Amino acid sequence: MIDPWIGGALALFFILCACGVVLTAATRGVYPLRALLVFSSACSVLMMFASAAALASGHSFAIDLWSLEGWGRFSIRLDMLSAIFLFAAGLVYLPASLFVRNLVEVRFRGRYPMRRYGVLHFALMASVVLILVANDAPLFLISWECMSVLCYFLVNYEQSARTDIRAGYIMLVMSEAGFLAALVAFLILGRGTPDWSFSSLAGMAQHLSGSAVWGVFLLGFLGFGVKAGLVPVNFWLPRSYTAAPAVFVPVFAGVTLNLGFYGILRLDAQLMSNHSVGTGLFALVTGSITALVGILYATTENDLKKMLAHSSIENAGIIVAAVGASLVFHASGHAVAAAIALTAALYHMVNHSVYKTLLFQGVGEVEAATGTREMDRLGGLARLLPGLSVVFLVGCLSISAIPPFNGFVSEWLTLQCLLRSAVLLSSAVKVLFALCGACLALTAALAVTCFVKVYAMSFLGIRRGDWRHGPGQAGRTQFPLAYLAVACLLLGILPTYVIPVLNRAVEPLAGASAAASLVPPFFSATPENQQLPPAFVDDFHNLGAQTGRHVLPGRGLVVLVRGSEKNPVVFAMSTSYSFVALAIFLLVTWFVATRGSRQRSVTRHELWAGGIPRLLPEMTYTATGFSNPVRVVFQAIFRPNIVEDSRETVAVHFRTAILRRRDETHFVDRLLFHPVGEAVGWLARLLAGMHHGRLNAYVAYTLAFLLIILVLFRLS
Amino acid sequence: MSFWFWHGLKKGVRSTHYPREFESAAGVSPGRPVATEFDSAAEAVVAAANCPADAIVARGSAAEVKLERCIYCQHCHYGNSHLLEWHSDYEWTMAVPGRGKYQPLPTAYHRSLHVIVVDAGDCGACLHEVKQLNNPLYNMHRLGIFLTATPRAADVLLVVGPVSENMRVPLLKTYEAMPAPKRILAVGACAINGGVFGRTFMSAGGVASVLPVDLLVPGDPPPPLAILHGLLAVTGRKSPVLQAASSEGNS
Amino acid sequence: MTAMGSSQLTPLQRIELEAVAAAVQAQFGSGISVERGSRGVALAIRLNEANVLAALSKALFWDIGCSFGGLIVEELSDRWRLSYLFLASGSGWIEVVLEVPAAVQAVPSISAEVHAADWFERETEDLFGLRFEGHPRLGDFILHDQIWPEGVAPHRKPQRRSVNVHQMHFRRRPNPDWRPLLVVQDPGSFAMPVGPVYEGGIGESLHFMLETVGEDVLRAVPRLFYKFRAVEKIAEGQQVSDVLLLAERFAATSSFAHSLAFSLAVERICALEVPKRAANLRVLLAELERLRHHAGAITGICESTALAVAASQAAIIEERLLRASCEFAGHRYLFGLNTPGGLRRDFVSRDFENLTGAVDRAVEDLHVLEDRLHFTSSFLDRLEDVGVVDPSKARDLNLVGPVGRASGRGHDLRRECPYGGYDGYTFETPREAEGDGYARLRVLFQEGYASAGLIHQAVERMEPGPVAAPCDSFVAGAALGWAEAPIGSALHWIRLDGSGVVERYRAITASFNNWLGFHAAVEDFAFQDFPIILATFGLSATECDR
Ligand code: SF4
């Protein structure tokens, strides 16, 4: 009985998308923008509605669109995994749609021809949903290709500078390469399949040989990893995030990045359930390295947008590391551990979408207000944009994994999963787990440094640059940002309600329930909670847990159980309780401070700066200065080249200038992109005949290639 | 390295027992000139005229000393006729005339007094003597007196130097940055009235001309124990012993 | 290591005045006139035209090899008299005198040729309003531009002669738009302000701008003169005896050396013969001051490396020496002893016994301390290769005192230009070539021992007699007095009128000289080394600021 609702919602979604395209394209003046706002928000609500309905009912919705004789069927299916991704997409599409208005009204008035933007926007939305609900390879791949091309157009939307166009171009090339890898993976997987639906592909996967499993896994992993931003195929990401218009980046980071994980999970986790420990380890190690490299570059970055792009890479790394851990646990038969790791990955994916959208929108606002994104030149924004500074702080706290915000929960789960490697047998694997755990712990620590820097250098302190004051915030809605900030908090303090929902997607993949283990009805000690020895539960009660038994909601704790009857150890945490405790603590402090028994007068003085008459902006830490220790410690990775080291003097010895300019080639660029780029350049000269220099032609090549391969396979 | 620790221990406790006992080691203090009876009023006038800092006043046949003005030129100590008697003590903190009775900081500060030292143009001697309080022979930490790096944590502003023009703003800023209750201790002849620098376009002629000084420690420079006495007087663990003459400054 | 270092040192060479005279005369001919100097100056070179100044300075400093002594500016009734002092090693002071009419507002700058003259010219511009053509960075030096408007020249003679320094008044105007001159242009660079009220306990009022991009400091610019009290201006119009009090009290850690240099100058003007006993006593007291100062400097270095026990032990040595000084001379900082003509008091042999006993004990303790420090690798690691000033740079910047000697300079006035009874004494002047923090520490220890040796020699040579020549009448005139203060050379120039009133008083101090060297020499160091570099230089702000 839920099916009509879901089907209706999806149908309505596509209808509204079509209407949106038509209306934004056909109207003029303020109407394209209004159409965009109204229809796009409605679409995102529908996305959330459909997925929420599916998740709530636990019922997958499936429908055949049409079948083409000899080509198989085009069918869609909204299963639990799709639903989670769809929900996350809807969650961030809503503020992202509303946010368009803020930016358009303030800074980009006249710069955005809203009509073209609207068409691309709705088309991308539709293709994203199609990717998520596609139930067969052709529909999935075609939608994927559409999404890639649309992303390219959106990234290049402003087309202001050559570098941006180049960035878009690199992105397109990488997406196409990733697409081809994924295509080949599907083709290997589905050789001899009766149809290309996912279910039959999953059946085919059982018969693959070991090396074919590796091949499909790697092709899929790297192919989809392009979108997810994994090392070593992520060098396009910071470039194009920086180039993309401020209204689009949140979608980029909050939605399309996730599609990469979706692809990996769909192909590598769901369709191929028979992989080895090795593939999982590969994912784990790649993820950990990605996370570390991402956060290192984020920490030392000066451009807010680029910094967030690198931080997206970091988060992608964490997610993939958790996925990898899950695969390893799965392959070695620890279903519960695998389920927990997968839960962590999905949780982190959702969290990242939310706070990254928030942060990117915040940066968009900052740029709109000041005209710059350089942290070295910002400072003191808290006074200029008080509202923004609060929500941005929430975003920074979330992404730095500070309780009670959402990032903490998922990173805690991820790290705890890696610690659970004790259940694994091979000591080599254990060592690898430990190393990756250390890597991720370091990442988490650097993330705090990074976002302390971001917040302190941009929002606190005194203004350093000579940027103009932008228009005030009067009349502009803060709803999108506030909405995201609340989402950060809720996802943070209510993990016990989120995990069971995620579990619906996790259970079929991992073959075990994470919720039963993570969110036991602990205080009631019912038979459901059999994993804990009863004596131990009693002990735990005696330790004081029972004090809250009747007062606190029993589902406040997230528990990671380890230990045996002899050695009952419990790892548990509760962000909801700590949130309550924190709130009480703050209230009491506030009460004591303001209403305390003794009247104290608070006087405010200037900042103490050693007695100099006035602290000048030049005398305050810059973002570069703040992060320089990281740069120095990790010199081996950054490998700065000193491209200029000049000391100028007049009259022989009066220094007038000291300039040391460093040039850094990104780790991945240095090791991979540049060598490959040179090789490709060499190849390209060979194939010069095919070069028209026109993009459409290259896209056409790809589509032609796709058709040829499909035909060939059909014939064979 | 670890052996330093051992070498340190081997030396044993070297700190003075002041204020529990009077420290009488030779050379801890240059002492001070005290009021001296001469045979006649004329002789007292000669003795007073000997003093380049107007620190000696003839009152009848006695030559009285305004210690807060003394710059320790030693002219009344040797090398001249009409010398004054010198006492070799060091407890000579003074209350500021005209400011009523000094209100010590509450007892809560007795064992935790945080001092910020501002060098407002001193010659290095007073500052150096303050620094000596940190060395093991004086070790003012044992009395709960600590030097702090920031005025935000300071209870006492210890000023040395005549307040040079370029230091006026930093000094005022330091005072402003201190939380109440706070006290100002002017250490040395320069901080009291400008000393040899007096009041010029480059020197304010003492801390009192820019800030409300609470206690004075005369001397040029006052020895460490005199400064320690001043710090103890801030909290009332010692009381100011001398009364400064009521006419301030000499400009 | 010391031996290795010494092998790189160039031997010191005596510069003969006749050779100098011949050389400059050959080069500049009619542009200059060379004459025998008087009253402390060995050779006077008068410039007939201003434009040979730079070339002449260059020839003296670079070709002939003199070191730079300082610049003395006098505003006489109708003209400016600028006297550039150069030291011919072993022969005495050479004075290059440039006189220009009072209406002239600018003279050529020699800073491009003789770097050590940089700050002297800036000082003159700030205080006298006399500009130096070709100097790229005048202004905002002693009179901080945050407070003082342009055009104030407080050291000029006031319009009305009757106005004294206590009545002078200058307009001040806080300037909120003041910006520091920053030269580091690396992306993301900033200047970390330190001081003037120190963030680290007790320190003199100094302000630093550490230009950095984080971690490494690319340049450290000291902003001095927070303590400027216009000592030279206060002295004008005062009696010699009052100025002596001032000379003794503007830099107390080397007060005896300054009062000595001052007294020597007055003695030269009045042609006073200092009794032998007084001369020996002066050596004794000056060396006592040096020993005490160096013990203090060693304490500072130990403190800067956070070696608490060593710092405490050095501090005990220093305090004992302070007490010994007080016991011996009645004052812990040796105030009130010097007077033109000799000393103000005499001592008995018991005093000497006590003193030498205390000095011996201090030396013994210093030896123990030095031995231990030599074997503390964590301590040495922090000093070695830190704040390096190589000999060529030290020569370029004309570093003086122990800092200069640690960088291979042989500049020691006691030896190069003997004064006040040092002749006949034998002592070592240590020299090191490395120019790093450790070399400076070694020099401090060696000099401390040498001072103790000199104290013993002085006691042995002590002969009975008066301690002062009476100084009751004054003659008009000017003279130079100098002494090797613990931090380096101290030069005092005095012009008196017939009644003993000081018309111009000029104090040139080692710290002034070395602070310039400090900031020019110290570039590119790690932030955590900054206090160590500062401590090993051991410079005094009050002596620099005056
Ligand atoms: S020591 Fe000097 S200043 Fe002090 S009272 Fe005696 S004569 Fe006066």
Q: Is the CB of B18 under 6 A from ligand 1?
A: no
Q: Is the CB of B48 under 6 A from ligand 1?
A: no
Identify the residue whose C-alpha is closest to ligand 1 atom 2: B73
pLDDT of residue A546: 45
What's the A231 CA to ligand 1 centre distance in angstroms?
A: 80
pLDDT > 70? residue C333: yes
Q: Output the domain CATH number for residue B105.
A: 3.40.50.12280
Phi, psi of C95 (to 5 degrees): -115, 125
DSSP 8-state secondary structure symbol assigned to residue A561: E
In terms of residues, how long is chain C? 546
Query: Sign of dihedral through CA atoms C62, C68, C70, C75?
Result: negative
**Closest atom of ligand 1 to CA, residue B65:** 5
Whether residue B51 is found in the same domain as residue B105: no
pLDDT, tens digit, 9 for 90 and up, residues C290-313: 999 999 899 988 888 888 888 888
| Rounded Cα–Cα distance for residues B244 and A133 (Å) | 92
In this prediction, residues C91-99 reach a mean pLDDT of: 86
The answer to whether residue C214 neighbours chain A at the CB level (below 8 Å) is yes
**Closest atom of ligand 1 to CA, residue B53:** 3
Q: Residues of chain C with pLDDT > 90: what percent?
A: 1
pLDDT of residue A520: 65
pLDDT > 70? residue A697: no
DSSP B34-90: E-EE-SSHHHHHHHHHH-TTS-EEEETTEEEE-GGG-----TTTSSSSSPPEEE---
Residue among C2, C154, C168 at smallest CA distance from C546: C154
Mutation target for A interface from B173, B175, B176, B178: give the one with most A CBs within 10 A: B173
How close is the nearest chain C Cα to the Cα of B120, in Å?
7
Residues from B contacting A (CB-CB < 8 Å) are 118, 150-152, 169-171, 173-174, 176-177
Q: Is residue B234 domain-resident?
A: yes
Q: Is residue B126 domain-resident?
A: yes
pLDDT, tens digit, 9 for 90 and up, residues A14-26: 888 888 888 887 8
Ranked by mean pLDDT, the top range of A108-117, C127-136, C164-173 is C127-136
Phi, psi of C339 (to 5 degrees): -155, 150
Beta strand B94-95 pairing with B113-119: unpaired
pLDDT of residue A585: 92
| B neighbours by CB contacts (3+ pairs under 8 Å) | A, C
Confidence of residue A584 (pLDDT cuts 50, 70, 90): very high
Pick C190's closest partner by Cβ from A620, A650, A656. Answer: A620
- Provide, as residue numbers in chain B, all residues whose Cβ is less than 8 Å from the Cβ of A611: 118, 169-171, 173-174
Q: Is residue B249 domain-resident?
A: no
Q: Is residue A309 domain-resident?
A: no
pLDDT, tens digit, 9 for 90 and up, residues A128-183: 988 888 888 888 888 888 888 888 888 777 665 555 667 777 788 888 888 888 88
pLDDT of residue A565: 53
Which residues constitute the domain of residue A690? 667-715
Whether residue B62 is found in the same domain as residue B131: no
Residue among B204, B212, B235 at smallest CA distance from B93: B235
Mean pLDDT taken over chain A: 79
pLDDT > 80? residue C75: yes
Residue C17 in contact with residue C45, Cβ under 8 Å?
Answer: no
What's the C86 CA to ligand 1 centre distance in angstroms?
A: 39
Q: Is residue A104 domain-resident?
A: yes
Q: Please, what are the domains in chain C?
A: 13-160 (3.30.460.80), 231-537 (1.10.645.10)
| C neighbours by CB contacts (3+ pairs under 8 Å) | A, B
pLDDT of residue A542: 54
**Full strand arrangement of the beta sheet holding C41-47:** C32-36, C41-47, C92-101, C79-88, C67-75
pLDDT, tens digit, 9 for 90 and up, residues A464-494: 877 766 555 544 667 888 888 898 888 888 8
Whether residue B77 is found in the same domain as residue B154: no
pLDDT of residue B248: 42
Q: Is the CB of B72 under 6 A from ligand 1?
A: yes
In this prediction, residues A505-513 reach a mean pLDDT of: 82
- What is the three-class DSSP state of C419? coil
Q: Is the CB of B36 under 6 A from ligand 1?
A: no
| Rounded Cα–Cα distance for residues A403 and C421 (Å) | 76
Q: Do B170 and C227 touch (CB under 8 A)?
A: no
Confidence of residue B244 (pLDDT cuts 50, 70, 90): low
Number of domains in chain A: 3
* Residue after which a domain boundary falls, among B65, B87, B109: B87
Residue C542 in contact with residue C204, Cβ under 8 Å?
Answer: yes
The radius of gyration of chain A's CA atoms, rounded to the nearest angstrom, is 26
Q: Is residue A377 domain-resident?
A: no
Residue B160 in contact with residue B126, Cβ under 8 Å?
Answer: yes
Residues with Cβ < 8 Å from A551, sequence gap 6 or more?
none
pLDDT > 80? residue C461: yes
Residues with Cβ < 8 Å from A67, sequence gap 6 or more?
A73, A74
Q: Is residue B27 domain-resident?
A: no
pLDDT, tens digit, 9 for 90 and up, residues A46-60: 888 888 888 888 888
Tokens linked to A451:
């976002």
pLDDT of residue A627: 83
What's the C438 CA to ligand 1 centre distance in angstroms?
A: 43
Query: Sign of dihedral through CA atoms A42, A43, A46, A48?
Result: negative
Whether residue B106 is found in the same domain as residue B205: yes
Q: Which of A45-54, A621-630, B180-189, C360-369 has the lowest mean pLDDT?
A: A621-630
Q: Is residue A141 domain-resident?
A: yes
pLDDT of residue A589: 87
Q: Which helix (H) or strand (E) holds A67?
A: strand A61-68
Q: Do C205 and B119 touch (CB under 8 A)?
A: yes
Whether residue A88 is found in the same domain as residue A149: yes
Whether residue B64 is found in the same domain as residue B126: no
Tokens linked to A639:
């490998």
In this prediction, residues C55-59 reach a mean pLDDT of: 84
In the block, which residue shows the tokens 């058709």? A707
| Rounded Cα–Cα distance for residues A495 and A480 (Å) | 22
Whether residue B76 is found in the same domain as residue B163: no
What's the B74 CA to ligand 1 centre distance in angstroms?
A: 6
Mean pLDDT taken over chain C: 82
Tokens linked to C366:
């210093």
In the block, which residue shows the tokens 């004794």? C284
Residue C45 in contact with residue C95, Cβ under 8 Å?
Answer: yes
Give the mutation target among B36, B66, B74 for probing the ligand 1 site: most ligand atoms within 8 A of CB: B74
Number of domains in chain B: 2
Beta strand C92-101 pairing with C41-47: parallel
pLDDT, tens digit, 9 for 90 and up, residues B133-165: 888 888 888 888 888 888 888 889 999 888 888
Q: Which residues of chain A from 600 to 629 reach within 8 Å of chain B, CB to CB?
A: 605-606, 608, 610-613
pLDDT, tens digit, 9 for 90 and up, residues A357-411: 889 888 888 887 787 888 888 888 888 888 888 888 999 999 998 888 888 888 8
pLDDT > 80? residue B74: yes
Residue B170 in contact with residue B203, Cβ under 8 Å?
Answer: no
Residues from A contacting C (CB-CB < 8 Å) are 302, 376, 609-616, 618-629, 631-632, 650-661
Burial of B129 (0-12, 13-18, 19+ CB in 10 A): buried
Q: What distances in angstroms separate CA C374 from CA A53, A421, B45, C370, C389, one per listed residue?
A: 78, 51, 59, 6, 21
Q: Is the CB of B65 under 6 A from ligand 1?
A: yes
Query: Sign of dihedral through CA atoms C69, C75, C77, C80?
Result: positive
| Rounded Cα–Cα distance for residues A48 and C379 (Å) | 65
Whether residue A641 is found in the same domain as residue A696: no
| Rounded Cα–Cα distance for residues C329 and C209 (Å) | 41
- What is the three-class DSSP state of A521? coil
| Rounded Cα–Cα distance for residues C202 and A233 (Å) | 56
Q: Is residue B19 domain-resident?
A: no
Burial of B238 (0-12, 13-18, 19+ CB in 10 A): middle
Confidence of residue C91 (pLDDT cuts 50, 70, 90): confident
Single-letter residue type at C274: V
Q: Is residue A543 domain-resident?
A: no
Nearest CA in chain C to A375: C188
pLDDT of residue C7: 46
Whether residue A653 is found in the same domain as residue A694: no
Residue A380 in contact with residue A458, Cβ under 8 Å?
Answer: no
DSSP 8-state secondary structure symbol assigned to residue C439: H
In this prediction, residues A174-202 reach a mean pLDDT of: 81
Whether residue B78 is found in the same domain as residue B103: no
Q: Residues of chain A with pLDDT > 90: what percent?
A: 5
pLDDT, tens digit, 9 for 90 and up, residues A348-359: 999 999 999 889
pLDDT > 60? residue B245: no
pLDDT of residue A547: 46
Whether residue B115 is found in the same domain as residue B201: yes
Q: What share of chain C is helix, strand, coil (3-state, %, to 5)?
A: 45, 20, 40
| Rounded Cα–Cα distance for residues A171 and A698 (Å) | 13
Pick B30's closest partner by Cβ from C231, C316, C330. Answer: C330
In this prediction, residues B40-60 reach a mean pLDDT of: 83
Q: Is residue A126 domain-resident?
A: yes
| Rounded Cα–Cα distance for residues A302 and A666 (Å) | 14
Size of interface A-C (CB pairs under 8 A): 114
Whether residue B114 is found in the same domain as residue B194: yes
pLDDT > 80? residue A713: no
Which residues constitute the domain of residue B143? 94-243
pLDDT > 60? residue A544: no
Whether residue B65 is found in the same domain as residue B173: no
Maximum CA extent, chain C: 70
pLDDT of residue A111: 54
- Provide, as residue numbers in chain C, all residues whose Cβ is less than 8 Å from the Cβ of B140: none
Residue among C249, C47, A371, C210 at smallest CA distance from B220: C249
Pick B137's closest partner by Cβ from C172, C319, C336. Answer: C319
More confident call, A664 vs C362 = C362
What's the B73 CA to ligand 1 centre distance in angstroms?
A: 5
Tokens linked to C13:
């060479």
In chain B, what is the straight-line distance between the N-terminal and C-terminal CA atoms, in Å? 55
- Provide, as residue numbers in chain B, all residues whose Cβ is less than 8 Å from the Cβ of C252: 123-125, 128, 221
How close is the nearest chain A Cα to the Cα of B167, in Å?
9
pLDDT > 70? residue B229: yes
Query: Sign of dihedral through CA atoms A532, A534, A535, A536?
Result: positive
pLDDT > 80? residue C44: yes
In the block, which residue shows the tokens 């105007």? C173
pLDDT > 70? residue A599: no
Residues with Cβ < 8 Å from C54, sequence gap 6 or more?
C108, C109, C110, C112, C113, C134
DSSP 8-state secondary structure symbol assigned to residue C92: E
Angle C177-C181-C185 from CA coordinates, rounded to 5°:
120
* Residue after which a domain boundary falls, among B47, B68, B87: B87
pLDDT > 60? residue A532: no
* Residue after which a domain boundary falls, among B54, B87, B120: B87
Q: Which of B64-68, B244-248, C234-238 has the lowest mean pLDDT?
A: B244-248
Q: Is residue B79 domain-resident?
A: yes
pLDDT of residue B246: 45
Q: Is residue A601 domain-resident?
A: no
Q: Is residue A30 domain-resident?
A: yes
Whether residue A90 is found in the same domain as residue A158: yes
Whether residue B107 is found in the same domain as residue B226: yes
The radius of gyration of chain B's CA atoms, rounded to the nearest angstrom, is 19
Whether residue B123 is found in the same domain as residue B36: no
